[in-house]
Amino acid sequence: MEHSAVQQSELAGRVALVTGAGQGIGEAVVRALVARGARVAALDATPAGVKALEAEYGTGTVTHHVADVSDGAAVEAAVGAAEATLGPLDILVNVAGVLRTSPVVTTSDEDWERTFAVNSTGVFHASRAAARRMAGRRSGCIVTVGSNAAGVPRTHMAAYAASKAAATMFTKCLGLELARSGVRCNVVSPGSTDTAMQRALWTDDRAPGRVVDGDPAAYRVGIPLGRLAEPADVAEAVVFLVSDRARHITMHDLYVDGGATLRA
């Protein structure tokens, strides 16, 4: 079988659920999974994007589900509905996230709590619902899309960085608990990626260049590879970790940041 055909069938017969699937990295993950043959339950708090994916691919391939990941009961119901429609989950990808920036001393309680409710507690809710099912079947993969900010301090991003660090360690602990059941749990940590979330931080047309070059005043290095990531770059890392090519990888944190964190 030719390489392209193998790639297109790599995840054939598998069922995935992706949170935050309506745009950006989440949408790219849905598309990458479908391209490898998976059927996908696309979940988002906002219906427009996931409904569009369902309309594009058809309900036999993508189904849309609307839920706020901070609501545990809603997530449990959505996972149940996804399994009832598409079949038992083989893959969960946690992408849903929010970013609210400010200095710590002016961060409101609401911004802090909402950031953790989505970025950390949302990962817990979705992972718990999936893990309960996967562990009993002794098979499955969970990937959490975190952030390189989880490992490097960022000015005005304390809530986001702390919430992503929590989600990262939670996923690793879950991976340890589930390892003997055969369920693998890993993290993909993007750096600056060309998404609506990233663009919301830009104040002028030169902002992308500053991200690539770095900002010494903010104690932030640039991106050695000289480019912003595209959502598809992150999605490809996710696809690798949920595939059989990564069958002996668990509790790993894969940085996809063009070298921006200068990790040893």
Per the annotation, the verdict on 160 as an active-site residue is yes
Structure tokens at 30: 């849905």
Task: Say whether 143 sits in a helix, a strand or coil.
Answer: strand
Partners of residue 255 on adjacent β-strands:
189
Those residues whose C-beta lies under 8 Å from the C-beta of residue 152, and which sit 6 or more positions away, are 161, 261
Identify the residue whose tokens are 């901070």: 70
Annotated catalytic residue, options 57, 160, 219, 255: 160
CA-to-CA distance for 220 and 12, rounded, in angstroms?
A: 42
**Cα–chain center distance at 49:** 16
Q: Where does the chain have alpha helices with state H?
A: 3-8, 24-35, 47-57, 72-86, 109-116, 122-137, 158-178, 196-199, 207-213, 231-242
Q: Which residues are catalytic?
A: 160
